[in-house]
Structure 1
Amino acid sequence: MLPAVGRIVTPDGVVNGTLSVDGDRFEGVLERDGEPTGWVLPGFVDVHCHGGGGFSLANGDADSARAAAAFHASRGTTTVVASLVSSPHRFLLDATKALAPLAAEGVIAGVHFEGPYISAAKCGAHAVEVLRDPDVGELTELIEAGRLADGTSAVKMVTVAPELDGALEAIEFLDGQGVVPSIGHTNASYEETVAGIDAGAQAATHLFNAMRAFNHRDPGPIPALLNDERIFSEVVADPVHLHPGTMRFAFDLSLPAWTLLVSDAMDAAGLSDGHYVLGRHEVEVEDGVATVAGTDVIAGSTITMLDAVRNAVRLAGQSVEAASQMASATPAELLGLREVGAIESGKYADAVVLDDDLNLVSVMRRGAWLQV
């Protein structure tokens, strides 16, 4: 499964050699002489994913979530967060309770609520009728619904539009609870965005997408998010969501240490065109582009993190090492996932083996080879 000598991307740089694994952990990297072939990257960490392989991470069904996670693992995403779309509070509570055991088991890394505390003006594929202002009482119940035996919560991230009533209080509360508040689906001004960051926001949900556009006299959220080192910026690296020039701009300005690749994938990732469902919307996929049925509103993506890595390299001119950092180490750092995200001794043995052209060869998760 591993090349005799591969280019292994480690936190200290690229090492020509092979991996040493002890059980489900990396023991180290063994340097070898010889001409290296292919790449060995740390397993990808996707903090924004709704489903894939025909299965949903967002419908609150544990069996479906398990299958979706297995699909993405087979494509190199060895750590995935289940992103739920805007829904009534009761549904989010029930979904969190259903998914929490998967977080305890390590099938998923946790839950991300991409709404309902978002702007109706920038809601994208979210159903307007369930959107509402942030409520600390609701958030408390959701965090408790995800409470695990070790005292932590499966709830890892919540997207909030900072201009909404109660948003700054909610951001402060989430930050205090160890949950990442992420600014997204927002029509905020520059000043409102800065206020959200000052309140404790740590991330930008799919930077550029579902945000007030940049204007030189009314800059809005984008420059506030890009220019602040307290913010980790998600980028959906596909040419549907972002022009390659925009990807390059974001990567070069924000830098890999503050930029994370996400798939924003829905159920159709890895499948053919057709009819699907995302949250409360019917979705049509044509030529790999997912839109709310009967509209041109983008409804997530159909890419995997492997596609995002390739696009960062091929379309946006990034090095393999930089793309690897944005796909693994940076998202792991954002969520405080200390046992994944890098090939180094003591971390989980999660690795993606690619050939010289970045084609998938094999995937290791927790020290075991997966069928790809």
Structure 2
Amino acid sequence: MAPSMAQAMHGQTGKRAMTLEGNILTPEGWFRGELTIRQGRIAGVSGTPVNPEDNDAPRIIPGFIDLHVHGGGGADLMEGGDALATLASTHARFGTTSLLGTSMTASREALIHAFGDAGRIMATPPERAADILGIHLEGPFINPDMLGAQPPYARPGTLEAFDELDALAPIRVITIAPEVDGHMALIKTLAARGVRVQIGHSAAMHDQCVEALQSGARGFTHLYNAMSGLHHRAPGVVGAALAHGDYAELIGDLVHVEAGALLAARRAIPHLYVVTDATAAAGMFDGEYRLGEHRVFKQGDSVRLADGGLAGSALTMDVALRNLTGLGLSLEEASQRLSLWPARYLGVNDRGILAPGYRADIVTLSPQLEIEQVWVAGQPVLE
């Protein structure tokens, strides 16, 4: 059991509660004191204001929320079977307490297979694993000229095709290229349903992106990657994101996006948040893995196709946190970009901060920001 945790009996009901002691990141700032968990929720926070740099007690922060994760622990969502359970368990060890399983562009049959098994896993969630909030449908409704590492199955989207998959496993986020014929109307319909529509894998012009945002699109998929870039006479998707975006996801491995570009996006987009875009290689040794129909190769910090092109990542959210703080962001801001902003973007209002009544999705860190323990709804992940 982690050294930061004491257990005690609290209250009149005899219910067992856990008390975490350390530097607690609350909406009002850092407090040195105690956080009490009861029945999977935060029951109370007490303490006095503190600068955590002044002591060596654990840093207690909200669990990470990853809205774009294809795989982990050797498993890829598109394999079906228990792959979604494996990736949820793997990423929980690195501090992710909620996630969206993310699909690849594929044939109708392959998507139905993967979504059917994902729905089965969601119906009986694995223990000691991140909470699976639903699916991010990354393709096939994308531009075939902007595949990136996606297999060549891009096709125009229809509401019927969306509904067929959504009936198998709930789609919370969709990546779509707005310039494809019929997609503006689809964006409007899906946004009205509450689906978070993201512009990505797109060669759209600036004005097309503005129209998509006005039609209900809310975000941008792995900003800078697989989208029309910024030129001062052709702003493209990147220019639209920087000029008009309120939310956008960005892969925080410092490989897909270098430091200067990350910091520029941080200045321009109020609620820029971090994702891993992790593949089956996350949490694994160097070697060969699967990403949809592709064979990909992990070497060090990156995952690549046989031709050397980037193909997702091996990133985990704890590494992303340290990458952000290494660029000079405070731990408070880094935490927001890995927890609060993705929760707010998705409209999940019971997590992302440490306050009474919220889910006890919690990460405790050493002073060096290494994972000590992870709790999902008050249950410890690490033995």
TM over 0.5: yes
Aligned match for 2:258, one of 243, 258, 262: 243
Amino acid at match of 2:360: A
The equivalent residue for 2:139 is: 115
1:253-272 aligned within 5 A: 253-255=268-270, 258-272=271-285
Q: After TM superposition, give the deviation of residue 119 of structure 1 in Å.
A: 1.4
The equivalent residue for 1:159 is: 175
> For 1:104 and 1:170, how far apart are their aligned partners in 2?
28
Q: After TM superposition, give the deviation of residue 226 of structure 1 in Å.
A: 2.3
> For 1:317 and 1:210, how far apart are their aligned partners in 2?
27
1:72-111 aligned within 5 A: 72-105=91-124, 107-111=131-135
1:127-166 aligned within 5 A: 127-128=151-152, 130-146=153-169, 154-166=170-182
Q: Tell me the secondary structure at the aligned position of residue 328 of structure 1.
A: helix
Q: Tell me the secondary structure at the aligned position of residue 268 of structure 1.
A: coil
> For 1:31 and 1:262, how far apart are their aligned partners in 2?
32
Unaligned runs of 5+ in 1: 147-153
Amino acid at match of 1:201: A
The equivalent residue for 2:192 is: 176
The equivalent residue for 1:331 is: 342
The equivalent residue for 1:124 is: 148
The equivalent residue for 1:341 is: 352
Unaligned runs of 5+ in 2: 6-19, 126-130
Aligned match for 1:44, one of 64, 87, 93: 64
> For 2:266 and 2:351, how far apart are their aligned partners in 1?
22
* 1:26 corresponds to 2:42: yes
- Deviation sequence 1:56-113 (CA, Å, 0-9, x none): 233332x221111011111100101100010112322332222124334454110011
- Check the 8 A contact 1:272/1:288 in 2, yes or no: no
Amino acid at match of 2:264: F
Q: After TM superposition, give the deviation of residue 5 of structure 1 in Å.
A: 4.8
- Deviation sequence 1:100-141 (CA, Å, 0-9, x none): 24334454110011101111222111112x110121221122
The equivalent residue for 2:30 is: 14
1:208-357 aligned within 5 A: 208-229=224-245, 231-255=246-270, 258-293=271-306, 295-314=307-326, 316-357=327-368
- Check the 8 A contact 1:25/1:349 in 2, yes or no: yes
- RMSD, aligned CA: 1.8
The equivalent residue for 1:150 is: none
Q: Tell me the secondary structure at the aligned position of residue 120 of structure 1.
A: coil
Q: After TM superposition, give the deviation of residue 32 of structure 1 in Å.
A: 5.2
Structure having the higher Rg: 2
Question: Residues 283 and 344 (structure 1 numbering): CA distance in 2 closer, same or farther, change over 3 Å?
Answer: same
Aligned match for 1:197, one of 213, 231, 237: 213
- Check the 8 A contact 1:136/1:169 in 2, yes or no: no
> For 2:202 and 2:124, how far apart are their aligned partners in 1?
34
Q: Tell me whether 35-44 or 97-106 shows the greater mean CA deviation.
A: 97-106
Q: Tell me whether 12-21 or 269-278 shows the greater mean CA deviation.
A: 12-21
* 1:55 corresponds to 2:78: no
> For 1:253 and 1:355, how far apart are their aligned partners in 2?
31
Question: Residues 226 and 103 (structure 1 numbering): CA distance in 2 closer, same or farther, change over 3 Å?
Answer: farther
Amino acid at match of 1:355: S
Q: Tell me the secondary structure at the aligned position of residue 171 of structure 1.
A: helix
Q: Tell me the secondary structure at the aligned position of residue 211 of structure 2.
A: helix
Amino acid at match of 1:367: G
> For 1:329 and 1:12, how far apart are their aligned partners in 2?
14
Amino acid at match of 1:42: P
Q: Tell me the secondary structure at the aligned position of residue 313 of structure 2.
A: coil
- Check the 8 A contact 2:151/2:294 in 1, yes or no: yes
> For 2:300 and 2:164, how far apart are their aligned partners in 1?
40
> For 1:58 and 1:125, how far apart are their aligned partners in 2?
14
Q: Tell me whether 320-329 or 91-100 shows the greater mean CA deviation.
A: 91-100
- Check the 8 A contact 1:58/1:82 in 2, yes or no: no
In the alignment of these two chains, the number of paired residues is: 358
Percent of counterpart pairs with the same letter? Answer: 34
Q: Tell me whether 44-53 or 98-107 shows the greater mean CA deviation.
A: 98-107
Q: After TM superposition, give the deviation of residue 179 of structure 1 in Å.
A: 1.0
- Check the 8 A contact 1:282/1:292 in 2, yes or no: yes
